[in-house]
Amino acid sequence: MKLLILIIPLLLQEPSPQEKVRRIEQAIDWLIESDPELRQAGRKILLEAGPEAIFRLEQRMSDRGLDRVYEVLRILHAKSGPEATGWVGQKDLPDEEELKKELPRVPKKRVDQYVFSKYYEAWRHAKSGNFQKAMGIADALLLLEPKSRYRRKLGDLRRFCDHRLTQETLCEASVVSSKSVAIRGEKLECSLRIRNRRDQEIRFQFSQEGRGFALVNQVVRVPALRGDEHEYNRSHEVRFENDIPIAVDAQWEHSFLLDTGAELDLSQDLQIITVHAWMLPRRIGLGDAGMTRRIIFEPAVIRVVAKKYEPDLADPLSGLRRAIESGTVNDVFVLSHLLEGGQKETGIGLLVAQLSSTKTEAGSAFLTRLLAFLTGEKIGPRGDKWVEWWKSRKESRNP
């Protein structure tokens, strides 16, 4: 659904003739993608284009060399013998009574157990770097058990493997921000960066007319003191050249400005912006070969704070110490989110020490929520558990 929302602006604008051709070409690429949302969007654009899309579709079929594909298939089928190419009619299938005798009675719980065990196997392959094997298992499970309770986990694992395969064997794509922390209202320079990971030149080609483009989506998260979180989305196109050659060991960059949201009615003190981006070239040239693949950029995360915190950006740990001693709860909350590296570890220790000495239930609840957010640990609301966790953590790091 989010993907379709991103594409809505493309559908609503009245395009020029050149832009219409570009959209038809892009829609054909989407039509043959594995992502069902992309296929749906491509189908919608082509149907709305009407007869103008027919020539481009026919041309694309010949461009893709289907005659050569057919020739290889014909030879393979001939070599496979009659068992692979022979006709199978209805009479050759077992009848229902025969099947019922062999049908195992498997409760749904057993099916879930099987799916999870195969998911775990795929997860282990992914962890060891065998992304293609993990993706094959995930694809098979999603096809056989599309309504499994683990379908979301399988989908996430599949996308992770797909991204890693692209990043490690084709190109390393990322959104790069000039700063990790910005002041609210600042126009922040960001870049789309693609590094060639192959041993030959790669070439990203978009439509013959018009320009290449990527869709950039800002996910704006506003964490609150109560522990809840609000989220907003904004998207826009970033346009660039329609032919991008990248030599071996080289990289391409395109800069754009990111609005940190001064005009949005959001938290004045803290926002966390994750900048996602993706593009789908008409063709990715790989020497004599070519392919169509959606390029997903690794996102950039930017924390946006009110101008009053600007003096603390150089040393947020000192600012946190001051806030704990004489500042507000909100100051503690915001400055904690600015900690990185060694400062973050020290800051967590300060918050645990404060938790040990707090006398109020509200103070304890605030600190445990904040620690959970900063550490990712699911320890719960009991302060003594957090103190115990911190002690164990220090002992493991300093044996």
Instruction: Quick: pLDDT tens for 329-339.
Output: 889 989 999 98
Whether 6 shows a pLDDT value over 60: the answer reads: no
Average pLDDT over residues 4-19: 54
pLDDT reading at 246 higher than 90: yes
- The CB density around residue 81, as the number of other CB atoms within 10 Å, is 9
> In this model, does residue 191 exceed pLDDT 90?
yes
Q: Is the predicted pLDDT of residue 259 greater than 90, yes or no?
A: no
Q: For 77-131, what is each residue's pLDDT tens digit? A: 677 666 666 666 767 767 777 767 776 676 777 888 899 999 999 999 999 999 9
pLDDT, tens digit, 9 for 90 and up, residues 276-319: 999 988 889 988 778 888 899 999 999 999 889 999 899 999 99
What was the pLDDT predicted at 276? 92
Query: Residue 1 has what pLDDT?
Result: 44
Q: What is the 3-state secondary structure (H, E, C) of the chain?
A: CHHHHHHHHHHHCCCCHHHHHHHHHHHHHHHCCCCHHHHHHHHHHHHHHCCHHHHHHHHHHHHCCHHHHHHHHHHHHHHHCHHHHCCCCHHHCCCHHHHHHHCCCCCHHHHHHHHHHHHHHHHHHHHCCCHHHHHHHHHHHHHHCCCCCCHHHHHHHHHHHHHHHHHHHCEEEEEEECCCEEECCCEEEEEEEEEECCCCCEEEECCCCCCEEEEEEEEEEEECCCCCEEEEEEEEEEEECCEEEECCCCEEEEEEEEECCCCCCCCCCEEEEEEEEEECCCEEEECCEEECCCEEEEEEEEEEECHHHHHHCCCHHHHHHHHHHHCCHHHHHHHHCCCCHHHHHHHHHHHHHHHHHCCCHHHHHHHHHHHHHHHCCCCCCCHHHHHHHHHHHHHHHCC
Among residues 63, 41, 40, 52, the alpha carbon closest in space to that of 15 is found at: 52
Q: Calculate what percentage of the chain has a pLDDT beyond 90.
A: 30
Q: Is the pLDDT of residue 39 over 50?
A: yes
Statement: residue 4 has pLDDT above 50: no
φ and ψ of 282, to 5 deg: -65, -35
Topology of the domain comprising 171-305: Immunoglobulin-like (2.60.40)
Query: Quick one: pLDDT at residue 69?
Result: 57
pLDDT at site 356: 82
Both tokens of 364, joined, read 């304890």
Q: What is residue 172's predicted lDDT score, i.e. its pLDDT? A: 94
| Res 53: pLDDT | 76
- Tell me which of 253-257, 262-266, 348-352, 361-365 is least confident: 262-266
* pLDDT given for residue 318 in this prediction: 92
CB 327 within 8 A of CB 354: no
- pLDDT at 3 (0 to 100): 46
Give the model's pLDDT for residue 231.
77
For residue 387, what pLDDT is reported? Answer: 85
- Residue 381: pLDDT band (50, 70, 90) is confident
Q: What is the mean pLDDT of the chain?
A: 82
| pLDDT of amino acid 375 | 85
Domain ranges of the chain: 2-66, 106-167, 171-305, 310-397
